Chain A
Amino acid sequence: MIRFENVTKTYPRGTRPALEDVSLEIERGQFVFLVGPSGSGKSTVLRLVIREEPTTSGSVLVAGHDLGLLPPRKVPRLRRQIGTVFQDFRLLPNKTVAQNVAFALQVLGKPNRLIRTLVPETLAVVGLEGKGRRMPHELSGGEQQRVAIARAVVNKPAVLLADEPTGNLDPATSLDIVRLLATINASGTTVLMATHDNVIVDEFRRRVVELADGRVVRDEAQGLYVPKEAPVPAPAPERDPDDLWSDPDNGDWADEIVRGEG
């Protein structure tokens, strides 16, 4: 479903590659944890999958399509096949829960009739029945992430990407969220989740791909966060200082949508 072939990615202003010679194959229907310390390149992998960034060399294939050969006007079609959730939820604060989920369908021009059935259905799947009229600020962090997941899967994508979806949540809520991702995976959606939450990885025992300094250092079928024989490293910091997208203290997550002086 997702295939990396000797992918190297150096950001325009980066000094060293964020990813270096990464090869990886994720099959349809798999659930994969992408682990590694901050700055190891997890988010970069996800950005390459949705063609948010081009590769520097090597190729990324999604559902058999080489993204390097994909003309820009076909990128939206690719993204419709992929749902994405983030650590900071990225809900629209002035829309209700149901409107947030419906938005993803409306901007694709889906008919209202379809939206009216799909939205409550999806809210039920993520465990938010009856909360469609709430505003995001009236929900707990875990519930907000469920709304984000509902929005990501409402169009029934083949792949679900999650970039540290539990990074802002307490351990119990985090487990609930990953259980939800596992349920979605069980219905056939390929799930790729970047995390540095060792408890979760150890609890679910799924495939683990570990990155360190932009290289794949481990790929284990039913792995733990840390392989048994290695010593336990200090836990990774809560928030990634290099992550330009999700640091809420440093401006809006959407700031890079628009260029220059606002």
Chain B
Amino acid sequence: MRLRFLAGDVWVGLRRNLSMAVSVVLVTMVSLYLLGLGLLAQRQADAMKGYWYDRVQVSVFLCSRGSLQPNCGGMPVTEDQKATIKSQLEEMKPLVKQVFFESEEEAFQRFSEQFKNTPLVGNISVGDIPSSYRVQLSDPTRYEVVVSAFQNAPGVASVQDQEKVLKKFFTVINYVTLFAVIVAGLMVLCATLLMATTIRQAAFSRRREIGIMRLVGASNFAIRTPFIVEVLIAALAGAALAIGMLWATVHFIFNRYLTNIVLNQALISANDVWAIAPYLAGGVVALAVVTSTVTLWRYLRV
């Protein structure tokens, strides 16, 4: 089969079946968009996990002047207490991978940097954020060990593990992903059925041509390729639109409105869209080829 003849055949087929082709494009677009959102939500969760796991998992906040925690008794932490805490943390190696001290001054600096374009900065001064030991664990899931060891230690105001804070957030993300993937799954099912119907419609409207092709000895490949290519073009057009919409979503909504908030560095970006795009496109190619092959095999007499 010559390429130009195939192209002409496909073009005629698409035009003759335009409404079906358009619906394949749209349904593919919506299903891939939802699927893409689910995948991006997971990547967002992974990015944040990576971000936090690379940094601090447990913060041991120390008493400062005016701390209200009963453990402090209103007194700031003493140098002795600090030394004890420090050496106890060092003893917990290798679970404790790294410990560093953040003074009140440094805490203030970090906060100002993170929220530099928000009104929060003006309302806070040195000393409002207590000094702390920031502990990095070799196994972030075993934070409980550190928490229980220091919760009521002298000079410790509170022990905060990021895991617990982030867990809620990850749970929400997981539900969002689950929802997106379920709806996407239903839409993919719709897309599959629609592709099958489209093929049958196309085969029916070209049954004379197919009859002649079989009679003169055209190969199955020659008979089926135009149908497969038609569905493939429609599905890829849908995939391209979906990827465009995902990019727009990340670029305009995510990166523009959520920028400069706490997790600045841990946000997904257009790069993540490009990273999942090949999988979406590849998946849709596989789906279109398998669906049309199976439909033709079942529906078209050879």
Contacts and interface: CB of A to CB of B under 8 A. Distances in A.
A259 B295 CA distance: 11
Contacts of B116: none
Interface residues of B, number: 29
Contact of B212 (A76, A103, A262): A103
A112 B54 CA distance: 64
> Size range of the interface on A?
35 or more
B211 A155 contact: no
B41 interface: no
Contact of B217 (A76, A254, A260): A76
Contacts of B215: 50, 79, 84, 90
Interface of A is mostly: mixed
Nearest to A260: B299
Interface in A61-89: 72-73, 75-84
Contact of B210 (A77, A93, A106, A257): A257
B216 A107 contact: yes
Closest 8 CB pairs of A and B: A79-B217, A80-B217, A107-B218, A254-B207, A262-B204, A254-B211, A257-B207, A104-B216
Contacts of B209: 92, 103
Contacts of B299: 258-260
B219 interface: yes
Interface of A: 50, 72-73, 75-84, 90, 92-93, 103-104, 106-109, 111-112, 151-152, 155, 252-260, 262
Contact of B301 (A76, A83, A258): A258
A257 B300 contact: yes
B244 to A, nearest CB: 35
Interface in B59-118: none
B294 interface: no
A108 B211 contact: no
B208 interface: yes
B211 A78 contact: no
A76 B217 CA distance: 4
User: Which residue of B1, B216, B222, B302 has the most chain A CB atoms within 10 A of its CB atom?
Assistant: B216
B213 interface: yes
Contacts of A104: 212, 216
A43 to B, nearest CB: 14
A106 B217 contact: no
A81 B223 CA distance: 18
Contact of A77 (B211, B217, B223): B217
